[in-house]
Structure formats: C-alpha cells, structure tokens
Amino acid sequence: MFADIAKIFIKSGKGGNGHVSFRRELFVPCGGPDGGDGGKGGDIIVEVDKGKNTLEDFRNRQKYVATPGEEGGGKRMHGKNGKDLVLKVPEGTIIRDFETKKVIADMSGENQRIVLLKGGKGGLGNMHFATPSMQAPKFAQPGQDAREIWVQLELRVIADVGLVGLPNVGKSTILSMCSNARPEIANYHFTTLTPHLGVVGLKGDRSFVMADIPGLIEGASEGVGLGHEFLRHIERCKVLIHVVDASGCEGRDPVEDIKTINEEIEKYDPDILKKPMIIACNKTDLIIDEQDSDSAVTRIKEIYEPQGVKVFAISAATNTGLRDLLEAAWTYVEEAGAKEVEVYESEVDLETLGHKEQLEIEYKRLDANTFSVEGPKIEKMLGYTNLQVEKGFEFFQRFMDEQGVIKQLKKMGIQEGDTIKIYGHTFEYYDTDAYEEGDMESAIEQAFPKRHQAKKNGEEEE
Ligand SMILES: Nc1nc2c(ncn2[C@@H]2O[C@H](COP(=O)(O)OP(=O)(O)OP(=O)(O)O)[C@@H](O)[C@H]2O)c(=O)[nH]1
Ligand SMILES: [Mg+2]
C-alpha cells in the first residue's frame, strides 16, 4: 500500500483537577485546606526520524492519545503529570488540519520537533485559595481540557535529485547502482510504490541525496493512478533526472515519453519545469547500433541539447555512463545549493489548535447594555466558586477570561458598566485590562460594595 499520506486523530491529555481537602491532625479539628494541584496532561509531540521514509505506521494505527494528568491529592500532593506521546515522522512530513487542510507544521529544515497539541494545565488545589477572610475554600480549579483534532500527514520527499519517468524505465536500478539504497527492481510496471532515498557518494567527499520516485503515467496530473501523490515529491527536488528507456523494447518512443511526462509535470505545477533537468537514456546495452542516426538517443540529443538540456546515454544494468550522469547532476545540485527547499509556513495558531469550540457556552444580548452567558461548564464553575468573597470573584473572573468569555463579549460590543447575567447572578462589566493595579481595587469595590463596607467597619467575613 502506498503510504505517504495518512489521516490520524490526535488528542492531548486533559489536565488533572485540583483537589479539595483539609488537613486532619490530632487535636486539630479543622485544619487548613491542603488540596494539591492536578498534574499536567501529556503533550502530543511530533519528531522527525531520519531513518523513516514512509508514513506506513500511521496507516496501521489511527488514534493517538496522550495520558491525562492525575488529580491532586490531600496533603498538598501534586497529581502525576500525564505522559507525552511522541509521533515519529519522516523528514518532509507536512501536517495539515484535516478539515480545513490548512498547514499546521512542515517537518522540514529547522523544524525537527514540535509540540502539536499541548496537554491541559493541571488545576490548582484548594490550598491556594485560602485567605484570611475565607479559611475553608471548598473549591479547586478544574484541569484544562484536552485538545483534539484530526490531522492529515503528507510526505514530501526531500532530495537533491529526483529520478522521474514512466514505469519500468530503470529508475530503481539507477538508484541501487549509485547508492546503498535497495529499492525493489522488477520487470513490470509500478514495482516501486513509495519513494526511496539513497545517498550518492562522489569522489572527494561529495555527496547528494537521490530519490527514486514511482513511475508516472499519462494523466498523472489529473490524479490517474496515484500520480498526484508522486508528483508532490518532485516539487522539492532541486534537480530532476528524466529517465527514458532508449531501447524502445516496450515498443514506445522515448521522445514521446519525455513529452508526456513533461506535460504532466507542467499541468501539475509549471514551476517544476524551471528546475534543472538532465535526460538519462537508459538500457542502451539493448541497442544494437548506437550510432544509428535514427536512434532514440540521437533524436533526443538533437531536440534537447539545443535547449541546454544535457543528455546522457547510460546503461544502469551494466553500470555504463553513470559516473558522467552523476557528475552533471552534482554540478546542478551545487549551483542550486544555496536555494533552500521551500518550507511551508504554519497557517494556524498552535496556541489554540485543537481547543474544543466552546459551543457549550451560549451568549445572548438581552438589551443594549445587558448580556447573558450560560452553559453547563459555567454553571459547574459557579457551583465551585464562592462569589461572596473577593478571591472567589477573582477566581471566577479568571476562569471566564480563560474560557474566552470576556473576549467573546468584547466582540459583541460590551461596554464598561454593562451588565452580565449568569444563572441569576448579575455582574457589572469592567475591562480589567484597562485598569492599573490600584484601579482594580476600586473596580472590585464597586462590584462588591457590601464586602468593602464590611472591611471598613473592621469586621471579618465568614
Ligand atoms: N537491459 C537493461 N535492463 C535494465 C536496465 N535498467 C533497468 N533494467 C531492467 O528494467 C526493469 C525495470 O527496472 P526498474 O529499475 O525496476 O524500473 P523502474 O523505473 O524503477 O520501474 P517502476 O518502479 O515500475 O517505475 C528491470 O527488469 C531491470 O532489470 C538497463 O540499463 N539495461
Ligand atoms: Mg522502481
């Protein structure tokens, strides 16, 4: 099975919940809060593994889930962090959001390792929420949600030189003769179904990477067969060696074959034709009279050499003419050297990738100055929180901020002093970003006039 494209589901670990507990000691009937923090959920990490050249693993297994963080414990115990999950991919793998097809990351060049989905942060235990005015906080922070997304992995081979041509012309044979790669070679079409890479060594420490790309056929650019998948690999090669069967032993005309392939490449992406190309006329060992003015090699030379394309007569089977071919390829590779392969920019915000849409939160504008915010999650959080105290209020406010509620309300045009209704509670809206430290105090004072009065009178709450 051809495996250079795969669809997988990834999910990071949810953060562990903060814990609610109180110290129990002999002779101390009511100890302080000692609920520990939840552990962080595991990340989904993607790493380049240079030893890999297919995405086959991802065809066999589709779901990848990192472990969640554990809940905090009593006695200030921190919950165990979830384990990260590392996906190993071949270099040149492009990761896309399956739904939008936007590029998330391109594992090429400098990008060798990336945290794709962050695990949820652990929630704070109730030990953090004790204040002089509230010594027994019965709430703790829930861990952050896991993130999940379906992604598409696409492999684009990164090689200096790509061998292109129709099936059975001897591309794999060439690669195996010039490098330590061992692609399968057989006398039938479509022997090679995945690109193979090999390092070609030349005299004096010179080397380049050559890719044997599966045979292209007419209609490849329209997706006949797996043409599109194969053409994709050519995009990143710096130099192309166009291989033809010059013996015509399959009854084809190699001149026509070159045209066919070039047309397919052009339809797919005309820019590819701007890359330096060399023509390798293979299987010349089968030609009886090479000097024949009507021979394929002669005709190809007549057409292409005036266009500045180098043409080599070779025989991969008998290792004839390969060295000159490789030297010519090297010259082009060296010239192209400075030009780095194009690395795709990420088109998504990794910070929010895979965040579940907060569909559960429902926003309504009741009138010009009143908004309502509801949803199970918010309701649950309200239950957790003691809004009667400053700390609790701040805590709830932070939660609303984290959930993007404030951002959403701003989008809806909320103004200073507007009212937010949440399950029977009424809040006045103050833009906390607009306040300095001291001003915040007075904003809270306005929101909690009763409490501040109490403070002024020197009374303790609770
Ligand atoms: N006589 C002769 N046969 C060759 C030569 N090069 C390759 N062959 C034979 O041609 C057949 C196809 O060779 P491959 O290297 O598998 O061809 P390919 O271009 O990789 O084919 P696909 O993977 O199907 O695209 C095999 O039987 C090879 O032994 C050559 O120079 N001379
Ligand atoms: Mg092959």
**Alpha carbon of 171 to ligand 2 centroid (Å):** 5
Pairing of strands 63-65, 5-11: parallel
For the stretch 132-187, pLDDT in tens is 776 778 878 888 889 999 999 988 767 889 999 988 999 999 999 998 888 888 88
Question: Which atom of ligand 1 has the smallest separation from the CA of 214?
Answer: 25
In the structure, which protein residues have their CB atom closer than 6 angstroms to any atom of ligand 1? 167-173, 185-187, 189-192, 214-215, 282-283, 285-286, 315-317
Q: Maximum Cα–Cα distance for the chain, whole Å?
A: 112
Cα four-point dihedral sign 263, 264, 267, 272? negative
As a whole number of angstroms, the distance between CA 455 and CA 147 comes to 43
For the stretch 305-323, pLDDT in tens is 999 999 999 999 999 999 9
- Residues in CB range of 101: below 8 A, 6 or more apart: 152
As a whole number of angstroms, the distance between CA 96 and CA 46 comes to 13
| pLDDT recorded at residue 290 | 58
For the stretch 320-376, pLDDT in tens is 999 999 999 999 998 887 556 678 888 888 888 887 655 578 888 888 889 998 887
Residue nearest to atom 32 of ligand 1 (CA): 283
User: Number of C-alpha atoms within 13 angstroms, CB side, residue 345?
Assistant: 2
Among the CATH numbers 1.10.3720.10, 3.40.50.620, 3.90.76.10, 3.40.50.300, which is that of 161-336? 3.40.50.300
Which residue ranges make up each domain of the chain?
Answer: 1-155, 161-336, 362-456
What are the pLDDT tens digits along the chain (462 aa)? 344 788 999 999 999 999 999 888 777 667 789 999 999 999 999 999 987 877 888 988 999 999 999 999 999 999 999 999 999 998 889 999 999 989 999 998 888 999 999 999 999 998 887 777 767 788 788 888 899 999 999 887 678 899 999 889 999 999 999 988 888 888 888 777 778 888 888 888 788 889 898 887 776 666 666 666 778 888 878 899 999 999 887 888 999 999 998 998 898 889 989 999 999 999 999 887 656 656 889 999 999 999 999 999 999 999 999 999 999 999 999 888 755 667 888 888 888 888 765 557 888 888 888 999 888 778 777 777 777 777 778 888 888 888 888 888 888 888 888 999 888 888 888 776 655 444 545 555 555 444 444 444 444 433
Say which residue the tokens 């992995």 belong to: 153
User: Number of C-alpha atoms within 13 angstroms, CB side, residue 188?
Assistant: 2
What's this model's pTM, rounded to 2 decimal places? 0.59
Return the HEC string of 133-166: CECCCCCCCCCCCCCEEEEEEEECCCCCEEEECC
DSSP states of 419-448: EEEETTEEEE---GGG--HHHHHHHHHHH-
Instruction: Tell which residue, 252, 171, 183, has the closest CA to residue 218.
Output: 252
Among the CATH numbers 2.70.210.12, 3.60.20.40, 1.10.240.10, 3.30.870.10, which is that of 1-155? 2.70.210.12
Write down the CATH number for the domain with range 362-456: 3.30.300.350
**Alpha carbon of 111 to ligand 2 centroid (Å):** 30
Say which residue the tokens 């690669």 belong to: 175
Question: Which atom of ligand 1 has the smallest separation from the CA of 243?
Answer: 19
